[in-house]
């Protein structure tokens, strides 16, 4: 089966081995070490790492479209945020009458805005299965419609990047409006519990961390399964020579659409796991700068490697945590410098460095020079 | 000659003597007038005020204003009337109403406020307006006549009609007539409705709507007719205003995007730091004004070349240090220049301030051009509109008529062929990028007059700028102009019924859909260069 085939690859085994070992070590240290021990992993750190894992999953989704399809999406934050909002709506409904205003149905912000009844799109979110379905369907549907229109009219390259950015910008403006019914500026917050587990307990936080790790593993397997399948080969062909692939009889736009939608769904799941861990979702997740930051994680880690995306996401976000704490002013300099240095001096990212050091040649197409399609586009 | 000279001398003498004259308080008629006002019993206050107005004394306005504001008092001991400058606390600061001389502080117990009742207070505004109607400056006279509209009551009719006979300025006469007509409509005069039918002033409309609701059927019918005509005119005016705002917003978009049309459209470089180059231009204006304090106009004019140079220099640095290494990799260029934009933003935050800076608008740019009561066009927007068109024309000239333009077009169409013909492509790249960046700087100078100058200035325009260029058709300056102006106008047309944010969303979605339909924009490039 396509999903289990990657398990036989050495790189996948290595990746999953490291990931699960890390999950196990953190869990063990968190549970068994006394609090004053230097090896103790606090609940705060567990949540922080859970957040990184969600970002890593998002980066894998972006790498799937950018690395293997040649589509630089500057709007993947939108899919991430949509998944997050779907989860946030479920969590809002779970608050029930424990909110500040004590309304059993309406979330606090609606009571505050003097709304009398629930907007139609909020119905069903009190049921976990429906909400979890929407986590995947909402971003998937947006990607389907947007991708269908864009790929059918062969909007590619820079144009596509710019309109994906416009898309997430438009969504950000829309979600900032109170009238949209998503909490406006403040977004959704003050969550209580998820599937009956109190979100503020350490056990739930650890559970979410492990769930994020497993989601990352599954997301990685799905992406790896796709790129090693025939479909993946075709999508790389679309990346490197779109016109040639089309002339050979492949329906390029269908391949693009499929991969794009899958990637959006994975991003949605990442967003859904992210929201209960940070405890808030607001329109800033739609901001174009966040989407473009994701691309830099991937670029730093190494395009078209998947595991590189994970490395990049974790490294950049760890650096962000450290720097915004120690010297907040320096962070944007560092991030900006990273954009420039990586693109100019490290076009294949950290993964490229590792690969060239080990002279590993078993997947030449994946780590091939990226000048392919864009140069001719 | 000698007559003029002697007259001048006489005038000079009078001016010289006058202060001494005023200081001699016993002969100053103002003293008597004020004492009269202070001593008048309630029934005679009106007459006392009238005699002040009739005296034609230049200081009358100040006295009456102070009177209305409860700041006219009498010293209990001497009976002298004084102006109270500051009536907070126990000791009040007072001044001589005749000379304006500060008389120091005096305990409030020693002062006796000159009483005023509410009926008089209500009339004071009209009385003051009549006072202004006698001012020497026709603009002041017109403004005061405009203030009178809707405030005329029976007591004012007579003095106003007297004013009308002596008034020579046509605009002021029209205003006074309109003010009287509003009063007469209120009294049920049918002819007065005709006089008001052309007026766009809100008070005239209010008077007519009042008449429509009133119980005089003939008057109501006529007023309704007049009102309909006015509404029609108003609609026209508001359409003109929307168009003006739309064009103004469009001109801003054009300015922001036109530099991008050169770097992105002509060179194919995605410069995400374009917005920050705009920001640099705006900050140059601010810096210029700091260097030349007190001369905002001169500073602004000097900022035009300075802003161009600063942004162009920054552009050259960006091109040489980053973009030249990423030739043929547009997506990487996009990322790298985005990084540069972050660095520039943070640089401004660290070096200058994260807060917005104020850029002063010079006097000749502030204010507005009043077309009529319903339509006035702000001058600064008009200047920016004109500036955008001039910049556009200048760029067109450079691209079409100069050696540089020719070389740029040659390199764009076929780089290798151009190089074989002896064109130094690298030099052309640098100059083109400098030109595009410099124009961004110019946009910043203009924008500093319309919006806040802060580190986020550029970020707000970058997406819009790309939209304009893509919508207009890459590599086509005319397309950028038309796209910018039309997007601005569409946005303004949508705003009244959709709100500012929703209008923006609708425009974005419209462009996204438009790109699907016509991926090459409004005016796609034709010929071989398009496939290059």
Q: Indicate the domain borders of chain A.
A: 44-369
Q: Tell how far CA A267 is from the center of its chain.
A: 4
Selected residues 124-163 of chain B with any CB under 8 Å from a CB in chain A: none
From the list A170, A292, A344, the residue facing B326 with the nearest CB is A344
Instruction: For residue B195, give the H/E element and its range.
Output: helix B190-196
Continuous H helices in chain A = 10-32, 43-69, 76-95, 108-112, 128-152, 157-176, 202-228, 230-240, 242-247, 252-278, 288-301, 307-326, 328-345, 349-358, 372-376
| Closest-CA distance of chain A to residue B443, Å | 22
Question: In sequence order, what DSSP letters do the residues of A100-113 get, joined into one string?
Answer: SS--SSS-HHHHHT
| Number of CB pairs, chain A paired with chain B, less than 8 A apart | 127
Beta-carbon separation of A166 and B467 below 8 A: yes
Determine phi and psi for B368, rounding to 5 degrees: -145, 160
Residue pointed to by tokens 């209990």: B76
ipTM, 2 decimals? 0.81
pLDDT for A81: 93
Buried b (16+ CB within 10 A) or exposed e, A239-261: bbbbeebeeeebebbebbbbbbb
Name which of B20-29, B304-313, B342-351, B510-519 the model is least confident about. B20-29
Tell me if residue A125 falls in helix, strand or coil.
Answer: coil
By the CB < 8 Å criterion, does A145 face chain B?
A: no
CA–centroid distance for A269 within its chain = 7
What gap in Å lies between CA B322 and CA B415, rounded to an integer?
Answer: 20
- According to the model, what pLDDT value does residue B30 have? 78
B15 in helix, strand or coil?
Answer: helix
Query: What backbone phi and psi angles, to 5 degrees, belong to B473?
Result: 105, 120
Token reading at A326: 């120690």
Q: Taking 70 as the threshold, does the pLDDT of residue B6 lie above it? A: no
Cα A328 from Cα A320, distance rounded (Å): 9
Which pLDDT value is given to residue B365?
Answer: 78
Q: What is the rounded CA–CA span in Å between residue B27 and residue A16? A: 105
Q: Please say whether the beta carbons of B494 and A162 come within 8 A.
A: no
Please compute, for residue A276, the number of CA atoms within 13 A of its CA located in the half-sphere on the CB side: 32
Q: How far is B236 from chain A (nearest CA, A)?
A: 32
Q: What is the mean pLDDT of chain B?
A: 80
Contacts of A177 in chain B (CB under 8 A): 501-502
Residues 6+ apart with CB under 8 A from B314: B277, B280, B344, B437
Q: Per the structure block, which two tokens stand in for B70?
A: 């409860």
- Beta-bridge mates of residue A188: A281
In the prediction, which pLDDT does B210 show? 72
A348: left (phi over 0), alpha (psi -120 to 50) or beta: alpha
| Token code pair at residue A74 | 């500057």
Question: How far is B403 from chain A, CA to nearest CA, in Å?
Answer: 29
pLDDT for residue B196 is more than 80: no
Rounded Cα distance between A140 and A149, Å, is 14
- pLDDT recorded at residue B111: 81
Range from A5-19, A352-366, B107-121, B361-375 that averages highest in pLDDT? A5-19
Q: Set out the domains of chain B in order of their start, with CATH numbers.
A: 18-119 (no CATH), 133-214 (no CATH), 237-362+382-531 (1.10.3470)
Q: Residue B520 phi/psi, 5° resolution? A: -100, 10
Are A343 and B345 a contacting pair at CB < 8 A? no
The pair of structure tokens assigned to B476 is 């086509």
| pLDDT tens per residue, range B389-426 | 999 999 999 988 999 888 888 888 888 888 898 888 88
Confidence of residue B88 (pLDDT cuts 50, 70, 90): confident
Nearest Cα neighbor of B33 from B49, B56, B21, B44 is B49
Check: CB of residue B155 under 8 Å from CB of residue B126: yes
Q: Whole-angstrom Cα distance, residue B195 to residue B174?
A: 10
Sign of the dihedral defined by the CA atoms of residues B325, B330, B332, B337, in that order: positive
Query: Could you say which of B350, B504, B516 has the minimum Cβ distance to residue A173?
Result: B504
CA angle B176–B179–B185, rounded 5-degree value: 135
Residues whose CB falls within 8 Å of the CB of residue B498, separated by 6 or more in sequence, listed in order = B506
Q: What is the pLDDT of residue B438?
A: 94
Residue B8 confidence (pLDDT): 56
Neighbours of B182 (CB within 10 A): 27
Whether residue B219 contacts residue B227, with contact meaning beta carbons closer than 8 Å, is answered with no
Phi, then psi, of B87 in degrees rounded to 5: -110, 30
Task: Please give the DSSP secondary-structure letter assigned to residue B81.
Answer: E
| The pair of three-digit structure tokens given for residue B40, joined into one six-digit string | 């008048």
Residue B12 has pLDDT above 60, yes or no: no
Cα atoms found within 13 Å of the Cα of residue B136, Cβ hemisphere only: 2
d(CA A349, CA A301): 5
CA distance A55 to A294: 8
* Short-list B363, B250, B387, CA closest to B308: B387
Amino acid A359: pLDDT = 60
Nearest to B188 by CA among B157, B218, B160: B218
For residues B361 and B297, give the distance between their C-alpha atoms in angstroms, rounded to a whole number: 8
- Residue B187's Cβ-side half-sphere holds a number of Cα atoms within 13 Å equal to 13
Is the CB of residue A282 less than 8 Å from the CB of residue A158? no
With an 8 Å Cβ cutoff, is A326 touching chain B? Answer: no
CA separation for the pair B484, B253 (Å, rounded): 5
Q: How many CA atoms lie within 13 A of A209 on its CB side?
A: 27
> What per-residue confidence (pLDDT) applies to A56?
93
Q: In this complex, is the C-beta atom of B121 within 8 Å of any C-beta atom belonging to chain A? A: no
Residue B24: burial class (beta carbons within 10 Å; 0-12, 13-18, 19+): exposed
pLDDT along chain A (377 residues), means of 10: 77 86 85 77 84 93 91 90 91 80 78 80 83 91 91 81 87 86 82 78 85 92 89 88 87 90 93 90 88 88 87 90 84 86 83 72 46 39
Nearest-Cα residue of chain B relative to residue A295: B335
Nearest chain A residue (CA) to B332: A343
The whole-angstrom separation of Cα B532 and Cα B529 is 5
Does A376 contact B at CB distance below 8 Å? no
pLDDT tens for B237-294 read 888 888 888 898 899 889 889 888 888 877 778 888 999 999 999 999 999 988 888 8
In which band, very low, low, confident or very high, does the pLDDT at B21 lie, cut at 50, 70 and 90?
Answer: very low
Tokens representing residue A319 in the block: 């650096």
Please report, for residues A315, B106, B110, B116, the alpha-carbon distance to residue B90 in angstroms, rounded to integers and kept in the order given. 69, 9, 11, 22
Query: How many beta carbons lie within 10 A of that of residue B147, not counting itself?
Result: 18
Distance from CA of A266 to the nearest CA of B (A): 23
Q: Sign of the CA dihedral B237, B241, B244, B250?
A: negative
Give CA torsion, residues B265, B271, B276, B280, to 10 deg.
-60
CA–CA gap between residue B201 and residue B293 (Å, rounded): 40
Interface-testing mutation among B317, B318, B322, B342, with chain A (most A C-beta atoms within 10 A): B342
Residues of B in contact with A340 (CB under 8 A): 322, 336, 339-340, 343
pLDDT recorded at residue B177? 76
Residues in chain B with CB shorter than 8 Å from the CB of A300 are none
Longest dimension (CA), chain A: 66
What distance in Å separates the CA atoms of residue A161 and residue A291, rounded to the nearest whole number? 11
CB within 8 Å: B463 and A161: no
């Amino acid at each position: 089966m396509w999903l289990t085939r990657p398990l036989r690859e050495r790189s996948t085994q290595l990746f999953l081995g490291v990931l699960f070992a890390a999950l196990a070590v953190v869990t063990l240290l968190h549970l068994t070490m006394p609090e004053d021990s230097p090896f103790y992993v606090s609940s705060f750190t567990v949540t922080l790492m859970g957040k990184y894992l969600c970002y890593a999953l998002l980066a894998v989704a972006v790498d799937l479209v950018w690395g293997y399809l040649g589509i630089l999406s500057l709007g993947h934050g939108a899919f991430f945020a949509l998944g997050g909002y779907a989860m946030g709506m479920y969590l809002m409904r779970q608050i029930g009458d424990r909110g500040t205003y004590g309304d059993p149905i309406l979330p606090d912000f609606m009571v505050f805005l003097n709304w009398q009844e629930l907007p139609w799109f909020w119905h069903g979110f009190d049921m976990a299965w429906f909400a979890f379905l929407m986590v995947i369907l909402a971003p998937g549907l947006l990607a389907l419609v947007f991708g269908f229109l864009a790929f059918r009219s062969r909007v590619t390259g820079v144009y596509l990047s710019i309109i994906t950015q416009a898309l997430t910008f438009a969504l950000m403006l829309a979600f900032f409006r109170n009238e949209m019914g998503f909490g406006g500026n403040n977004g959704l917050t003050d969550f209580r519990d998820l599937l009956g587990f109190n979100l503020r307990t350490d056990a739930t936080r650890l559970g979410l961390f492990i769930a994020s790790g497993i989601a990352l593993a599954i997301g990685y397997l799905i992406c790896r399964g796709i790129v090693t399948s025939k479909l993946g080969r075709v999508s790389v062909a679309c990346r490197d020579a779109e016109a040639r692939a089309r002339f050979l009889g492949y329906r390029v736009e269908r391949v693009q659409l499929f991969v794009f939608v899958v990637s959006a769904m994975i991003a949605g799941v990442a967003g859904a796991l992210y929201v209960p861990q940070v405890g808030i979702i607001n329109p800033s997740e739609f901001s174009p700068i966040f989407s473009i930051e994701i691309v830099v994680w991937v670029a730093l880690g190494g395009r078209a490697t998947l595991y590189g995306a994970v490395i990049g996401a974790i490294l950049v976000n760890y650096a962000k945590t450290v720097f915004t704490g120690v010297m907040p002013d320096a962070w944007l300099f560092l991030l900006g410098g990273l954009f420039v240095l990586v693109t100019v001096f490290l076009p294949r990212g950290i993964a490229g460095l590792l690969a060239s050091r080990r002279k590993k040649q078993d997947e030449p197409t994946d780590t091939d020079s990226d000048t392919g399609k864009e140069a001719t586009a | 000659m000698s007559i003029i000279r002697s007259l001048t001398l006489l005038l000079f003498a009078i001016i010289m003597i006058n202060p001494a004259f005023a200081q001699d308080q016993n002969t100053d008629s103002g003293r008597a007038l004020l004492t009269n006002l202070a001593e008048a019993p309630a029934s005679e206050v009106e007459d006392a005020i009238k005699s002040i107005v009739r005296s034609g004394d230049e200081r009358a306005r100040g006295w009456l204003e102070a009177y209305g504001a409860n700041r006219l008092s009498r010293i209990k001991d001497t009976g002298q009337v004084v102006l109270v400058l500051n009536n907070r606390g126990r000791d009040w600061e007072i001044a001589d109403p005749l000379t304006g001389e500060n008389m120091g502080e005096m305990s409030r117990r020693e002062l006796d406020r000159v009483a005023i009742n509410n009926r008089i207070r209500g009339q004071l505004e009209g009385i003051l307006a009549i006072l202004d109607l006698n001012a020497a400056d026709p603009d002041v006279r017109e403004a005061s006549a405009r203030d009178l509209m809707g405030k005329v009551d029976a007591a004012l009719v007579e003095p106003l009609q007297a004013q009308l006979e002596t008034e020579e300025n046509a605009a002021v006469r029209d205003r006074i007539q309109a003010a009287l007509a509003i009063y007469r409509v209120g009294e049920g005069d049918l002819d007065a409705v005709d006089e008001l039918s052309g007026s766009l002033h809100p008070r005239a409309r209010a008077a007519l709507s009042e008449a429509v609701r009133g119980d005089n059927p003939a008057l109501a019918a006529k007023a309704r007719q007049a009102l309909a005509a006015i509404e029609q005119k108003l609609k026209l005016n508001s359409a003109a205003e929307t168009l003006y705002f739309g064009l103004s917003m469009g001109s801003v978009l054009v300015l922001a995007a036109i530099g991008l049309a050169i770097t992105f459209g002509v060179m194919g470089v995605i410069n995400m730091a374009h917005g920050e180059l705009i920001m640099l231009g705006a900050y140059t204006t601010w810096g210029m004004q700091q260097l030349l304090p007190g001369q905002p106009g001169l500073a602004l004019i000097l900022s035009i070349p300075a802003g161009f140079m600063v942004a162009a220099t920054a552009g050259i640095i960006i091109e040489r240090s980053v973009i030249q290494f990423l030739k043929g990799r547009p997506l990487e260029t996009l990322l790298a220049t985005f990084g540069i934009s972050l660095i520039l933003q943070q640089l401004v935050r660290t070096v200058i301030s994260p807060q917005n800076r104020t850029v002063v608008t010079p006097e000749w740019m502030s204010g507005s051009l009043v077309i009529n009561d319903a339509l006035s066009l702000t001058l600064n927007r008009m200047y920016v509109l004109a500036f955008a068109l001039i910049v556009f024309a200048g760029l067109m000239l450079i691209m079409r008529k100069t050696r540089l333009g020719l070389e740029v077009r040659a390199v764009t169409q076929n780089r290798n062929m151009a190089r074989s013909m002896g064109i130094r492509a690298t030099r052309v790249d640098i100059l083109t990028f400098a030109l595009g960046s410099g124009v961004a700087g110019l946009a910043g100078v203009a924008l500093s007059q319309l919006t806040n100058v802060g580190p986020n200035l550029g970020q707000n325009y970058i997406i819009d700028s790309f939209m304009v260029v893509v919508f207009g058709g890459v590599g086509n300056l005319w397309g950028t102009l038309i796209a910018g102006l039309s997007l601005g106008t569409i946005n303004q047309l949508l705003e009244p019924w959709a709100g500012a944010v929703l209008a923006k969303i609708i425009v974005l979605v419209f462009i996204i859909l438009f790109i699907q339909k016509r991926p090459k924009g409004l005016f796609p490039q034709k010929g071989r260069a398009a496939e290059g």
